[in-house]
């Protein structure tokens, strides 16, 4: 009888081991997010049993910021969101998502930023950080409007300069680094604690800055929040548990 019980226990453990090893493929078509479908480094077991509710958000504001001769220009209404190094100028991207609908008592398990790259020039190591000042999007077109709203030098016009030109962000909140070389969807796993702080304190959510890790070569052009193809708009997907 003891041998039978031991054999049965081994079978159960083996079955659980197989179940737990099932890899997750990350956010795909669910929640209207037409993102990548292959395994992309997401957490194992994250979605296996459907235990974690999820919420997906489209960006509420976004803009690109550029150094050099346009460092005071706002591009808030431009349709392209570029970051990297384009012809010797550094471009970065600011984007914000409203996550206040998630209960402040929720525990964030993981979060992902998904974007659609219209075109890629070279290889870009994309990385994301938490912005620490409340910037304004603005209405500058692709030609730019100087001295208003968010730009490389200012978070809200010429009277409100970033502490450091190029945007103030917390280096401790660095995301994973995602290498992008071709057009298409790509997803970046974000710093979980950063998103948890947004959920706990929505008023302190100033969004993200997306940039190239080295900013010496290569750039990406991405669809913005007004893209006519809604699946190509920047998306934030959060997986969490409730008490």
Question: Rounded to whole angstroms, how far apart are CA atoms 102 and 100?
Answer: 5
Number of domains in the chain: 1
Residues of the chain short of pLDDT 50, as ranges, are 1-50
pLDDT confidence of residue 51 = 55
Does residue 138 contact residue 145 with C-beta atoms inside 8 Å? yes
Torsion angles phi and psi, residue 38, rounded to 5: -90, 165
Does residue 82 contact residue 93 with C-beta atoms inside 8 Å? yes
Query: How far is residue 147 from each of residues 81, 154, 160, measured CA to CA in Å?
Result: 19, 8, 10
Residue partners of 100: CB distance under 8 A and separation at least 6: 202, 205
* Domain interval for residue 14: 2-241
pLDDT confidence of residue 53 = 77
Question: Rounded to whole angstroms, how far apart are CA atoms 221 and 180?
Answer: 11
Task: Annotate 195-223 with DSSP letters as a single string.
Answer: HHHHHH-GGG---EEEEESS-SS-EEEEE
* Residue 99: how many other CB atoms lie within 10 Å: 20
Does residue 130 contact residue 123 with C-beta atoms inside 8 Å? no
């Amino acid at each position: 009888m003891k041998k039978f019980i031991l054999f049965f226990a081994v079978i159960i453990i083996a079955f659980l081991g197989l179940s737990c090893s099932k890899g997750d493929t990350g956010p795909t078509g669910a929640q209207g997010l037409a993102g990548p479908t292959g395994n992309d480094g997401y957490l194992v077991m994250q979605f296996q049993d459907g235990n974690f509710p999820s919420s997906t958000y489209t960006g509420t504001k976004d803009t690109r910021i550029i150094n050099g001769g346009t460092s005071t220009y706002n591009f808030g209404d431009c349709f392209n969101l570029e970051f990297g190094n384009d012809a010797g100028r550094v471009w970065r991207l600011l984007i914000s998502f409203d996550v206040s609908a998630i209960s402040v008592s929720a525990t964030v398990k993981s979060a992902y930023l998904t974007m659609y790259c219209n075109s890629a020039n070279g290889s870009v190591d994309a990385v994301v950080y938490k912005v620490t000042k409340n910037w304004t999007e603005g209405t500058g077109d692709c030609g730019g409007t100087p001295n208003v709203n968010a730009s490389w030098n200012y978070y809200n016009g010429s009277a409100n300069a970033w502490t450091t030109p190029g945007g103030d962000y917390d280096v401790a909140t660095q995301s994973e680094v995602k290498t992008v070389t071709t057009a298409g969807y790509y997803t970046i796993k974000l710093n979980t604690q950063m998103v948890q702080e947004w959920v706990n304190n929505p008023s302190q959510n100033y969004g993200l800055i997306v940039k190239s890790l080295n900013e010496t070569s290569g750039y990406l052009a991405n669809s913005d929040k007004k893209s006519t193809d809604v699946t190509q708009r920047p998306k934030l997907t959060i997986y969490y548990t409730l008490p």
